Amino acid sequence: MDARLLEDPYALQRHLGFEITEWSQDFARVEQPLLPHLMNRYGIPHGGVYATLLDTAMGFCGCFTGDPETKRLAMTLSMNVNYEGRAQGTRLICEGRRTGGGAKTFFAEALVTDELGTRIASGTGVFRVRGT
């Protein structure tokens, strides 16, 4: 992936600490180290962290243009999240894939695992393509 294709991290991204590590046509990979401020009262990652990673990976997977001067944005219309397991490692990895749609609306799915391969959460979503 050409680093010029990514814009500077936005405020939520900086606060949570995730980064987009791969981005190509119909695919995006987001990685998140498990940091203390992400934990809930039980000392495990808050479910909203998983939802944020799923939403981010699915939204990005439908917005790749290959040209740093041509940006495409997406707005989440609908998203379903399934919590499947507990992280065993120290890093969350979320991979999103576009599964269909057209020029203005697309469908995507994503999976969150840790670096050990533990399935943690999955999601599906519907996204609207927006201009910059």
With a cut of 90, say whether residue 132 has pLDDT above it: no
Nearest partner of 87 among 110, 57, 118, 111, judged by Cα: 118
* Mean predicted confidence (pLDDT) in 109-131: 96
pLDDT of res. 94: 98
> 132 with 74: CB under 8 angstroms?
no
Query: Which residues have CB under 8 Å from 77's CB, separation 6+?
Result: 105, 125, 126, 127, 128
With a cut of 90, say whether residue 2 has pLDDT above it: no
pLDDT of res. 28: 97
Q: Which tens digits make up the pLDDT trace of 69-83?
A: 888 999 999 999 999
Stated pTM of the model: 0.92
Domain covering 3-130, topology: Thiol Ester Dehydrase; Chain A (3.10.129)
pLDDT of res. 16: 87
Give DSSP secondary structure letters for 105-128: EEEEEEEEEETT--EEEEEEEEEE
Q: Which tens digits make up the pLDDT trace of 26-71?
A: 999 999 999 999 999 999 999 999 999 999 999 999 999 998 888 8
What percent of the chain is modeled with pLDDT above 70?
A: 93
pLDDT of res. 23: 94
pLDDT band at 1 (very low <50, low <70, confident <90, very high): low
* Mean predicted confidence (pLDDT) in 107-130: 97
